[in-house]
Amino acid sequence: MDHRERESRLVRRGVRGLAAVLVLCASALPTASARGTIEETSVPLPLPLLFDNAAVSDDSAPSGADFDGSGASLSARDLAAAGWTPGRALTVQGARLTWPDRLPGEPDNVLADGQSVWLNGTGDALAFLVAGTSGDEVTGSGTVTYADGGRSPYVLTAPDWRRGPLATKAVALPHVNTVEGRRDEKARLYVVTVPVAPGRPVASVRLPRAAGLHVFALSVRGAADGWTGSWAAATSGYQTVGPWTDRTLRLVVHTSAGGPQVRLRFDNTFAAAPVRIGSATVAVRSTGAAARGAPVPLTFRGGTGIEIPAGAQAYSDPLAFEVPAGADLLVSFHLPGTVTAAPTHRLAQQRSYLSGPGDHTADGSATAYPTVLTNWPLLTGVDVGGGPGSVVVLGDSITDGDRSTVDANRRWPDVLATRLPAQRAVPHYGVLNQGIAGNRVLSDRYPGDGVSRETAGVSALHRLDRDVLSQTSARTAIVLEGVNDLLSGSDAARVTAGLREIADRAHARGLRVLAATVLPCGGVPGCTPAVEAERAAVNAWIRETGVFDGVLDFDAVARDPSQPTRLAPAYDSGDHLHPGDAGLTALAESVDLGLL
């Protein structure tokens, strides 16, 4: 053990000793309503000083930790394999959190019992790295205290570490350590965000009092002031690729808003292992895989590349680069290792490119890129400096552009984006397309973990936090989902309950929420009169209940006046479900921009 490790161990011991002294001091307070007195008078402490539970064990000594009170714990080896190493900073849902800098068997989390945590920062949400150990999700209420003395309540729900949904987990580990040995079952950790008052510096956070709710890390997610989301894609699954070894991907993406700076976001969503990006560049596209001018290098925390842990994301450093509105960018990134599977957005409706061996991020020509890709791996966002913020569209294949012309950017959110610069009624927002072909409001098509051929994504409810609420400078959300639920047998009551939950959760974060009515599906196998009746009920609910801040009546725009259960022939792509280019344009042009 070198001197730095000895110093680290002494610091950790000192932290635990200080925490013990403070607990003893608190216990000496008067006991008539003692718990309430402690809550009002205790001094907020940094979270690590409050750690009182050991969740992580060495695989050779599993009895060294007892996460759940029955001797089970997380595997230190599995965490390391996922890239979740002690002291490592992780970015999840736009929030920067630090995995506890503790050795296996040392206290690395706090059981939430009303403790006061010192915290500072200004942003739009608190981010908690949590898990429950009660066998079911655990919910409790806490309080945020601001630097100006004001307070606001919050509610925190932690899914169970062994039974919670894989679709919303930050990371899943393949094993659980027990005193009897290792068990081959998934252990889960979650990042959960709750809103705070924007613009007000946070001073401290009172944790909930909830049995079995464990908190590993806590931070204020900074608001994305000064940035506008210009392009985005939702991760629809985790697919087998290549394998790619020492290859460069050159992805073509189409901007909405422009600006004088750029930053990119890469997500290792649903992954079990880290992925390394060796280098990356950005350029305006000329044609094909050729750049207009030399590609410009990007950096990550000052370095040329970055390793992204399982379930985490990485933002490139801000780069002075003039991003044109409504233009194609080339985002090139080198994968120096071997990648056999990757998080992807399957239905790109845009050709991108793959190089032969080597780092070709700096190449301006297309020569090194002979292979065409039809999906978008790893890249999930392009932000531009300045601007008024973004409109986020949550949808299924109709939003994803299925049956639209490849390489033409004729998806209806693309057409909507072209309308904004030419008007003055509303700001020139960026438009972020978070459509996933086959997606449903209620049920997961992709289970949320593991390599799969299923690429219809987790449910809209399960991906709402990641794909809408944490998007850069989101101002308004538009929801167009439900037809896949109805075709799969869900009834109107369940679909509308899901849509109401989406509206409620987005409103709680301060977003405007618009809903589009569900388009007709007559002529599609399975679109029976019973399904049509449920669709009509969903649309009546959207139009009449006032749950949303505005309604986009896409059904009225796209239907055949003489056969209202079918798409108008001029708008039908031919499969009776998806509008073609003309239909998608009609949807976008029907949007009352004042609602945005």
Summarised one tens digit per residue, pLDDT across range 331-362 is 999 999 999 999 999 999 999 999 999 999 99
Average pLDDT, the chain: 93
Domain's final residue, options 172, 188, 221: 221
What is the Cα–Cα distance from 325 to 339, expressed in whole angstroms? Answer: 33
Q: Does 203 share its domain with 290?
A: no
Q: Does 408 share its domain with 341?
A: no
3-state secondary structure 345-409: ECCCCCCEEECCCCCCCCCCCCCCCCEEECCEECEEEEEEECCCCEEEEEECHHHHCCCCCCCCC
Tens of pLDDT, residue by residue over 414-445, are: 999 999 999 999 999 999 999 999 999 999 99
Q: Residue 232 domain-assigned?
A: no
* Least trusted range by pLDDT, from 11-20, 189-198, 373-382: 11-20
Q: Does 161 share its domain with 310?
A: no
Q: Does 93 share its domain with 31?
A: no
Q: Residue 233 domain-assigned?
A: no
Q: Does 291 share its domain with 422?
A: no
- Structural domain that includes position 21: 1-42
Q: Does 15 share its domain with 146?
A: no
Name the residue among 94, 173, 197, 84 with its Cα closest to residue 465: 94
Distance of CA 542 to the CA centre of its chain: 26
* Tokens, residue 240: 């087998």
Tens of pLDDT, residue by residue over 101-114, are: 999 999 999 999 99
Tens of pLDDT, residue by residue over 471-485, are: 999 999 999 999 999
Whether the Cβ atoms of residue 415 and residue 380 lie closer than 8 Å to each other: no
H or E stretch covering 330: strand 328-345
Is the bond preceding 243 in cis, omega lying within 30 degrees of 0?
Answer: yes
| pLDDT at residue 60 tops 90 | yes
Q: Residue 33 domain-assigned?
A: yes
Who has greater pLDDT, 157 or 18? 157
Q: Residue 357 domain-assigned?
A: yes
Whether the Cβ atoms of residue 495 and residue 442 lie closer than 8 Å to each other: yes
| pLDDT at residue 15 tops 60 | no
Q: Residue 229 domain-assigned?
A: no
Q: Does 353 share its domain with 409?
A: no
Show the CA angle centred on residue 461, arms to residues 474 and 399, nearest 5°.
65
The residue-averaged pLDDT of 282-296 equals 98
Tens of pLDDT, residue by residue over 229-257, are: 999 999 999 999 999 999 999 999 999 99
Q: Does 185 share its domain with 173?
A: yes
What is the Cα–Cα distance from 489 to 287, expressed in whole angstroms? Answer: 45
* Tokens, residue 308: 């992204």
| pLDDT at residue 136 tops 50 | yes
Q: Does 529 share its domain with 563?
A: yes
Neighbour tally for 249: CB within 10 Å = 28
Q: Residue 418 domain-assigned?
A: yes
Q: What is the pLDDT of residue 347?
A: 98
Whether the Cβ atoms of residue 206 and residue 145 lie closer than 8 Å to each other: yes
Q: Does 17 share its domain with 75?
A: no
The residue type found at 111 is: L
Q: pLDDT-derived band of residue 223, with 50, 70 and 90 as boundaries?
A: confident
Q: What are phi and psi of 109, to 5 degrees?
A: -160, 165
Q: What is the pLDDT of residue 224?
A: 87
Check which CATH number belongs to the domain holding 525 and give it.
Answer: 3.40.50.1110
DSSP characters for 492-509?
A: HHHHHHHHHHHHHHHHHT
- The proportion of the chain whose per-residue pLDDT surpasses 90, expressed as a percent, equals 92
Q: Does 366 share its domain with 498?
A: no
Q: Does 491 share its domain with 551?
A: yes
| pLDDT at residue 20 tops 80 | no
| pLDDT at residue 388 tops 90 | yes
Sign of torsion over alpha carbons 230, 595, 435, 468: positive
Q: What are the angstrom distances between the C-alpha of 514 and each of 22, 136, 385, 412, 499?
A: 50, 33, 26, 15, 11
* Tokens, residue 293: 């001018």
Quote the pTM value: 0.93
Q: Residue 364 domain-assigned?
A: yes
Q: Residue 236 domain-assigned?
A: no
Q: What is the pLDDT of residue 42?
A: 80
Whether the Cβ atoms of residue 329 and residue 284 lie closer than 8 Å to each other: yes
Q: What is the pLDDT of residue 25?
A: 36
With a CB cutoff of 8 Å and minimum separation 6, the contacts of 63 are 57, 71, 179
Q: What is the pLDDT of residue 225?
A: 85
Count how many domains the chain has.
Answer: 4
Whether the Cβ atoms of residue 575 and residue 398 lie closer than 8 Å to each other: no
Tens of pLDDT, residue by residue over 397-412, are: 999 999 999 999 999 9
What is the Cα–Cα distance from 218 to 203, expressed in whole angstroms? Answer: 13
What is the Cα–Cα distance from 360 to 220, expressed in whole angstroms? Answer: 38
Q: What is the DSSP letter of 98?
A: E
Domain's final residue, options 327, 347, 377: 377
